[in-house]
C-alpha cells in the first residue's frame, strides 16, 4: 500500500483523511516527524524499516528550494531539490507503517509526563486538527535572513549562494563577489579559495573600526591574507543587484552531476560606477523556520535547537528530538541531514523498545534492573538496526 503523500502531486488531505491512512488502528502514533526535508524523510525511512507507526507532517517550505540543483549527495548529485524529495517519498511509500500529510504544525503539548504529545496542525485546505504521538522529531529547518537589497531575494539560490559545497563548483574560476560583513571576508575567501581567485568583497559599509577589531580577533593578519589573494574590498553601500544573464537558461543536461552555470550580475551602489560579477558567495544570518520547538520549551544554543549527539539528538524535553539544519550540531548540508535523521530514528526506536519492554515485563510480573536491560536490549537493538552502511549512526552510547 502506497500511503505516503507526494507534495503537490496527490490531493491534500484533511486531518480526518490523514488519520484514516494510518496503517495501524491505534489512537496514538509511535512518532510524529515535523518537517519533510532530507532529515525528516531520513528519519521516516529509518523508522519505516523497523515498522514503526509514524506520521510526517510537511509544511512544504524548504531552505534549499530556491537552488537550481542539489549537489554532493551520492547517487543524486545534480538533481533538483524537488525531484530528490519526490524520489525519497516514492521509495518510502512502499513501507506500509508510515504516512505523510501536508500541513503546518502550530503547537505541541506534552502530556502524561511526556509519554504523549498532542500535535496541532493547520492544513492547506483550511481545516485543522490534532494527532497524538509517543515521540516527536523536529526537522523544522532554518530560514536565511536576507537583506532587503533589491535583486537579492529574487535571485537567491541562482548564482547567489551561501554554501560552496552546494553551489560553488558550478561557478569555479569565475569572477566572484562576497556579500557579508568585513570581519568575515577573510574567512569567506579561505573557504572559497580552491574555487575562485578573482574576488571582490562587497562589505556594504561595514568597514568600521569595530569591524576591523573584530576581524583582528577572529582572523589575525586578515588584511595581509586578503592582499595575498588579491581581494579588493569595496565598502560602498549596495543599492541594487541586477541580473544580466541567467546561468540556468538554457538548463544544463539533467543527467550530469555538475555543469557550469554562467550567470552575470551588476552591482549598483549609492555612488560611483557599477561592478559586474558572475556569482556571489554570501554570509547572512539565519533563524529557526518554526517556533514550535522553542514554544514547547526546547532550549536554543546559538539560535539552534539544542540536541545531545550522545543521545540520538535528544533535546532537553524528554521524548523530543531535533535533527537537520535546525539543531545545534551546526552542520548544514544534505548528507549530514540524512545522517542525523537516521541517527535519531535508531535511538528513538531503541527508546520505544525500552519502554515497551518495561510494560511487557511489568504486565508479566517480572522486574529487571535498568543495567540488565541496557546491556541486553538497548545495545542489541541498536546493533541490529544500525548496520555499518553509508548511513551508519555510530557506536552505541548510553
**Per-residue pLDDT, 382:** 57
Give the whole-angstrom CA distance, residue 201 versus residue 306.
Answer: 33
**Per-residue pLDDT, 366:** 79
- Written as tens digits, the pLDDT of the chain (398 aa) is 334 333 333 333 333 333 333 334 457 999 999 999 999 999 999 999 999 999 999 999 999 999 999 999 999 999 999 999 999 999 999 999 999 999 999 999 999 999 999 999 999 999 999 999 999 999 999 999 999 999 999 999 999 999 999 999 999 999 999 999 999 999 999 999 999 999 999 999 999 999 999 999 999 999 999 999 999 999 999 999 999 999 999 988 888 999 999 999 999 999 999 999 999 999 999 999 999 999 999 999 999 999 999 999 999 999 999 999 999 998 999 999 999 999 999 999 999 999 999 888 888 887 765 544 344 445 555 565 566 655 566 666 65
Give the whole-angstrom CA distance, residue 340 versus residue 5.
Answer: 23
**Per-residue pLDDT, 44:** 98
**C-alpha angle with apex 62: 130 to 17, nearest 5 degrees?**
30
**Helix pair 185-192, 209-218: axis angle to 10 deg:** 50
**Per-residue pLDDT, 7:** 37
User: Strand, coil or helix: what is 306?
Assistant: coil
Q: Answer yes or no: are the C-beta atoms of 31 and 57 closer than 8 Å.
A: no
pTM: predicted TM-score of the whole model, two decimal places? 0.86
Cell 544500525 found at: 386
Amino acid at each position: 500500500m502506497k500511503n505516503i503523500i507526494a507534495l503537490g502531486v496527490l490531493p491534500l488531505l484533511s486531518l480526518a483523511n490523514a488519520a484514516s491512512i494510518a496503517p495501524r488502528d491505534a489512537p496514538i502514533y509511535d512518532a510524529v516527524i515535523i518537517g519533510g526535508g532530507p532529515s525528516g524523510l531520513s528519519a521516516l525511512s529509518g523508522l519505516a524499516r523497523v515498522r514503526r507507526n509514524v506520521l510526517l507532517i510537511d509544511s512544504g517550505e524548504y531552505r534549499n528550494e530556491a537552488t537550481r540543483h542539489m549537489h554532493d549527495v551520492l547517487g543524486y548529485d545534480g538533481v533538483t531539490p524537488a525531484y530528490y524529495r519526490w524520489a525519497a517519498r516514492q521509495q518510502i511509500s512502499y513501507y506500509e507503517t508510515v504516512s505523510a500529510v501536508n500541513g503546518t504544525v502550530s503547537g505541541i503539548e506534552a502530556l502524561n509526563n511526556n509519554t504523549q504529545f498532542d500535535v496541532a496542525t493547520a492544513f492547506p485546505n483550511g481545516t485543522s486538527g490534532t494527532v497524538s504521538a509517543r515521540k516527536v522529531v523536529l526537522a523544522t529547518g532554518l530560514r536565511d535572513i536576507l537583506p532587503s537589497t533589491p535583486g537579492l531575494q529574487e535571485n537567491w539560490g541562482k548564482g547567489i549562494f551561501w554554501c560552496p559545497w552546494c553551489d560553488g563548483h558550478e561557478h569555479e574560476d569565475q569572477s566572484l563577489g562576497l556579500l557579508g560583513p568585513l570581519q568575515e571576508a577573510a574567512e569567506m575567501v579561505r573557504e572559497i579559495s580552491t574555487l575562485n581567485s578573482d574576488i571582490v568583497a562587497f562589505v556594504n559599509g561595514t568597514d568600521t573600526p569595530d569591524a576591523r577589531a573584530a576581524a583582528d580577533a577572529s582572523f589575525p593578519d586578515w588584511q595581509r591574507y586578503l592582499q595575498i589573494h588579491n581581494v579588493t574590498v569595496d565598502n560602498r553601500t549596495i543599492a541594487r543587484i541586477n541580473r544580466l544573464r541567467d546561468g540556468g537558461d538554457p538548463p544544463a543536461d539533467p543527467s550530469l552531476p555538475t555543469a557550469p552555470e554562467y550567470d552575470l550580475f551588476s552591482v549598483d551602489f549609492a555612488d560611483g560606477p557599477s561592478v559586474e560579477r558572475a556569482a556571489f558567495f554570501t554570509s547572512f544570518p539565519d533563524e529557526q523556520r518554526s517556533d514550535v520547538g522553542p514554544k514547547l520549551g526546547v532550549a536554543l544554543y546559538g539560535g539552534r535547537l539544542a540536541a545531545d549527539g550522545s543521545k540520538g539528538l535528544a533535546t532537553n524535553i524528554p521524548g523530543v528530538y531535533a535533527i537537520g539544519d535546525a539543531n545545534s550540531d551546526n552542520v548544514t548540508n544534505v548528507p549530514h541531514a540524512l545522517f542525523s535523521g537516521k541517527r535519531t530514528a535508531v535511538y528513538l526506536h531503541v527508546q520505544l523498545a525500552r519502554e515497551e519492554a518495561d510494560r511487557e515485563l511489568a504486565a508479566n510480573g517480572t522486574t529487571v534492573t535498568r543495567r540488565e536491560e541496557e546491556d541486553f536490549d538497548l545495545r542489541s537493538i541498536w546493533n541490529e538496526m544500525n548496520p555499518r552502511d553509508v548511513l551508519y549512526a555510530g557506536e552505541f552510547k548510553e
